[in-house]
Structure 1
């Protein structure tokens, strides 16, 4: 079995929740795209990262069914794990910084895949949503406190790959931040936290807490 690390990305204030991420540090052990796709499907995380050059931060990102040129929580998690100032993705170079509690990435919103941003009147409406059938990728959100930029959100990828709801989604947070044009503090899923901040150069920062899981069975 190929060695891999498992992280939780965008953890809540207590260090819980977050979205699980698989990272294969020695990506050269699985160089072929079709084998990487098979391995990502076998792990079953919403995304799995293959590190092709740890010093340059060159990475390759897969969901269980497709390869992504860019994704938010894989970049935040891998940036934290490799402790590098930037990551090289097929979409371009992603800036990375760490402030001690949060790891931040910087990228343009147009790198994020299309999502339907669907606003609801209250957080309770978002909480009550049932998982929709496969099809449309929906980021459901409402204001918790508009004056403070606090948002309640849930993410439904709409894919038939076993990921009915995405616990924490950096790319969708990028799109929502670009849409609203302001910094956000997003509570997503069961208790994950994502912070965002538009920059003067048109890029957007997305930040969150990262934890390494060391007690998973079968690794």
Structure 2
């Protein structure tokens, strides 16, 4: 039986352009043993399998898979899940993932999640001198150590705006268009609120707290339904 996969783009700009593709699946439609296969076949940087909230409740559960493995937490799937549930008439306040309980909030077109900074992987953060140097970086130069690499440089230091790219070949992701978990890490690293322009032009907004929580916010666009066996 074919499985419906909603395809979202998470962290678009204000015009609904760019954003990172995400596969969203109702977990009830899939045997848990098939999750990894489905995520691999879809080929998105992440696919999220959501257990819908019980009637009258405002909390859901989810599992997140890259093409090669399950993740305890990731930013763009949790933002996408929050948006998808509200779009189905089931807005939530929390989303339970293996790493912990993610707080979810909504403001107009923007969906936000709050997560502990230590839930995100320990990215290798590379401070790059210029935007041109960042643009010239080749993902194939970062595929030999199994690490996840985050490259960044300032666009406007006073305004807290950075430009970034992320490479994670070990997870089956040569280059990620927009990475919420990396946004959590770079926000902690710089200890300030940020506007992050990643990939071709995706936009991630973050809010830093000294208590170790980071809020990650963005816009989402629905690109329709794809079916997979």
TM-score, normalisation: structure 1: 0.93
1:67-146 matches, within 5 Å, as 67-83=70-86, 84-131=92-139, 132-134=141-143, 135-146=146-157
Deviations 1:88-147 (A, max 9, x none): 111111001111131110011100012101011111111111113523311000001111
Aligned to 1:28: 28
Aligned pairs, how many?
216
Alpha-carbon offset, residue 13 of structure 1: 2.2
User: Structure 1 runs of 4+ off > 3 angstroms?
Assistant: 215-219
- Where 2:170 maps in the other structure, the secondary structure is coil
Contact 2:67 2:171 in 1 (8 A): no
**Which deviates more, 94-103 or 130-139?**
130-139
Contact 1:9 1:21 in 2 (8 A): yes
How large is the Cα RMSD of the aligned pairs?
Answer: 1.8
1:148 aligns with 2:159: yes
User: Greater relative contact order (Cα 8 A, min sep 6): structure 1 or 2?
Assistant: 2
- Where 2:181 maps in the other structure, the secondary structure is helix
Contact 1:138 1:158 in 2 (8 A): no
Q: Distance in 2 between matches of 1:166 and 1:125?
A: 18
- Where 1:121 maps in the other structure, the secondary structure is coil
Structure holding more strand per residue: 2
Aligned to 2:89: none
Q: Distance in 1 between matches of 2:30 and 2:224?
A: 22
- Determine which of 184, 194, 202 is the counterpart of 1:174: 184
Residues 1:164 and 1:148: Cα distance change in structure 2 (over 3 Å): same
Aligned to 1:187: 197
Residues 1:101 and 1:95: Cα distance change in structure 2 (over 3 Å): same
- Where 1:214 maps in the other structure, the secondary structure is strand
Residues 1:160 and 1:114: Cα distance change in structure 2 (over 3 Å): closer
Q: Which runs of 5+ in 1 are unaligned?
A: none
Q: Which runs of 5+ in 2 are unaligned?
A: 87-91
Q: Distance in 2 between matches of 1:17 and 1:211?
A: 10
